Amino acid sequence: MNLKQKTSSNFNPDYMNFPEEFKKPPLTLGDWIINLIITKIPLIGFIVLIIWAVDKSTEPNKANWAKAELIIRLIGFLIAMIIVSVIGIGFFTNFSDQMDW
């Protein structure tokens, strides 16, 4: 018996001590498309992302993706607020300079 036959016959994932989340099948392409469509719906998508991120029964890959998506959205929101604040302060400073109080 050669080495290849010996190692392949000894590898059986059913007998290995893998956590249950590693034994689940991966999400299909259709599942990912549906996930992306759901998360693009305003407000509902944000709520669904929070649920997927904190729910223990959610598949680990989907939960990690939801956490990453929430972090990216938070960073984008903060950058947008900084830009709006800078533009707003510049506008109102210029506007108040032109007014005779």
19-78 per-position pLDDT tens digit:
776 677 888 999 999 999 999 999 999 999 999 999 999 998 999 999 999 999 999 999
Where do the structural domains in the chain lie, given as residue ranges?
28-98
pLDDT greater than 70 at residue 10: no
pTM attached to this predicted model:
0.69
Please state, as a whole number, how many other Cβ atoms lie within 10 Å of the Cβ of residue 57: 5
CA-nearest of 74, 33, 32 to 50 is: 74
Quick one: how far is CA 33 from the chain centroid? 14
